[in-house]
Amino acid sequence: MSNSDGPESRSFFDRLAEPFADKAREKLNQAEDKVRAAIQAEVDAVQASLRARAVEIRPSAIAFGAAVLLTFFGLALLVAASVLGLVAGGMDPWLSALLIGVALILIGGGIAAWGKHRLPKPAPQTEPVTHPAGDQVHPWDN
């Protein structure tokens, strides 16, 4: 009598297909490794390109950041100066700050409305978008 866990319990087809399954498994592992290596190579290339571009534009980015900061502080000083000017003219400090604040909010709202108005209108889609290859996107699709 044979044990069900032993090699005699395997069917003829299992023993026949085992070398093919091992080869197929090996080929699939090789294909997976190649795909993984190709994807990693693409990711590495994109990272290298982005790093090179970042090094290229770093001085400009720092300069623009400094310009934004200095402009912000300059505008804040102009607002403070306008409030102090109204205070020097005989107006209460809280009232002059309120008037300047409301004026800035109104100007900001007007600029935002103008910017919204200047946004391009979305084009209406009359027909569905089709792929340039037509119905056959993939060569094996018929």
Q: What is the pLDDT of residues 71-84, one digit of tens each?
A: 999 999 999 999 99
Task: Pick from 9-23, 82-96, 120-134 the range whose average pLDDT is largest.
Answer: 82-96
**Over pLDDT 70: what percentage of the chain?**
82
pLDDT (tens digit, 9 = 90+) per residue, 23-58? Answer: 888 899 999 999 999 999 999 999 998 888 888 888
Q: Give CA–CA dist 17/25, Å, rounded.
A: 12
* Residue 80 covered by a domain: yes
The confidence score (pLDDT) of residue 6 equals: 52
Asked if the structure places residue 125 within a domain, the reply is no
pLDDT in the model for residue 105? 93
Residues 68, 77: contact at Cβ < 8 Å? no
If you average pLDDT over residues 67-71, what whole number do you get? Answer: 93
Task: Please indicate, yes or no, if residue 86 is contained in any of the structural domains.
Answer: yes
106 in a domain, yes or no? Answer: yes
Domain that holds residue 74: 11-117
Domain assignment present for 99: yes
